[in-house]
Copies of this chain bind each other. A is one copy, B any other.
Amino acid sequence: MAGTMNVTNPVDSSEPPVGRVARPRDAKLTPQDWLRGAADLLVEKSIDAVRVDALARQLGVTRGSFYWHFIDRDDLLQRLLQSWKQVQTEQVIAAHSGQPGDAQTVIRELAELPFHGVSARRGGAVELAIRAWARRDDMARAVVDEVDALRLRYIQGTFLELGFDEPQSHHRAFVLYAYMQAESLFRAQGSEADKAARRQFVEQLLTFKSLPF
């Protein structure tokens, strides 16, 4: 299952980011190429830097070819958000939901997600840039809130399966999700051994059933 739980980048496969690889001038770009380039610019500069002319320059094509795939910049930004939402959330949830049964295993796999190497690192950088953008843009805010709600509801469902009641499942899901974000945010804190130990601690803490409160 770990293989299917592919934390790819929001708008990325395992290829290196576009704009850093040599690409023949006449290669046909897909919408995904533009979205990947937009995510690169978002991380490396800011949402204000994600402009059609800058993107076309980065991809080495004319800006006219952009309009084969997108209505305008706003269309690009909306599809960037939808692509992030889909790959980082819906696909992951769908991959898990296909596997009936062991909720404890799902908890462990969720706790491991932040450690999935380069793709988790790039995914974390894109997500952080989207969250910063969402602090001053309602469209981005709405998608970020929706993604957080989807993930929390999914994680909560796993705790419900383990037999926790509704509020307990809500709280535990929030703490697990907080932990997952924190391992990405505070990546420099602790050795690999520290991280492995605290991951185990969090799993045990959140699935422990005999708390007196």
Contact = CB atoms under 8 A, between A and B. Distances in A.
Copies in the complex: 2
Interface in A176-197: 177-179, 181-182, 185-186, 188-190, 194, 197
A123 to B, nearest CB: 12
A213 interface: yes
B188 A148 contact: yes
A129 B125 contact: no
A132 interface: yes
Interface residues of A, number: 46
Interface in A157-180: 167-168, 170-171, 174-175, 177-179
Interface of A: 43-49, 125, 128-129, 131-132, 135-136, 141, 145, 148-149, 152, 167-168, 170-171, 174-175, 177-179, 181-182, 185-186, 188-190, 194, 197-198, 201-202, 204-205, 208, 211-213
